[in-house]
Structure 1
Amino acid sequence: MILYGLKNCDTCRKALKKLPDCQLSDVRAEGVPETVLTDAFAQFGDRLLNTRSTTWRGLSAEDRDRPPLELIGEHPALMKRPLIKTEDALYLGWDKSTQAALGVA
């Protein structure tokens, strides 16, 4: 299981604490494989883009109109976190439904 996120993100830290067998892939340092991003965008659509982040608020209106995958490629912190990849599924965020699906109480 791989958690794509940021090592300094509180939500990612909470998820890692509950998922001890999960490996962190820091999106700023390592990026996200293009196939994973494409699959995540196909499944989650625009929800993959974190429009509440300080990075988003710092973008110009022109930049905000660019395709989400292009923006995430340039600014990995714009991806909603965490993105968790298991052998057969992707999960976005760390809400109760994600926790239940992963068997975390």
Structure 2
Amino acid sequence: MILYGLKNCDTCRKALKLLPDATFVDVRGEGVPAEVLQQAHAQFESKLLNTRSTTWRQLDEAERTKAPLELLAEHPTLMKRPLIVDGVRMVLGFDKAAQTALGLG
């Protein structure tokens, strides 16, 4: 199981605490592999892009019109967190539904 997130994100820390065997990948330092981003975008579509983030608010209008995968490649912190990859299964976020999908709820 791989958890993509930010080391200073409270939700990511909570997820890691409940998933101690998960491998953590800090998207700010290591990024997200292109194939993982493509699969996540195919599954979650617009939900993958966090338009409430500070990074999003700092983008100008021209940048916001770029394709989501291009934006995420340039600014990995725009991804909603955490993205949890367990084999072929992907879970986005860590709300009750995500925890249930991971067998934690």
Please report the TM-score for the alignment, with normalisation by the length of structure 2: 0.97
- What letter corresponds to residue 48 of structure 1 in structure 2? L
**Gapped regions of structure 1 (runs ≥ 5):** none
Q: What is the aligned length?
A: 105
How far apart are residue 83 of structure 1 and its match? Answer: 0.2
Aligned mates of 1:68, 1:87 — CA distance in 2:
24
How far apart are residue 101 of structure 1 and its match? Answer: 1.1
SS in 2 for 1:30: coil
- What letter corresponds to residue 50 of structure 2 in structure 1? N
1:3 is matched with which residue?
Answer: 3
Aligned mates of 1:67, 1:92 — CA distance in 2:
19
SS in 1 for 2:66: coil
- What letter corresponds to residue 104 of structure 1 in structure 2? L
How far apart are residue 36 of structure 1 and its match? Answer: 0.4
2:27 is matched with which residue?
Answer: 27
* 1:71 aligns to 2:71 (yes or no): yes
Aligned mates of 1:23, 1:15 — CA distance in 2:
11
1:56 is matched with which residue?
Answer: 56
How far apart are residue 90 of structure 1 and its match? Answer: 0.4
Please report the TM-score for the alignment, with normalisation by the length of structure 1: 0.97
The CA RMSD measured in Å over matched residues stands at: 0.7
**Gapped regions of structure 2 (runs ≥ 5):** none
How far apart are residue 88 of structure 1 and its match? Answer: 2.2
Deviations 1:76-104 (A, max 9, x none): 10000000000120000001111011111
Aligned mates of 1:67, 1:4 — CA distance in 2:
21
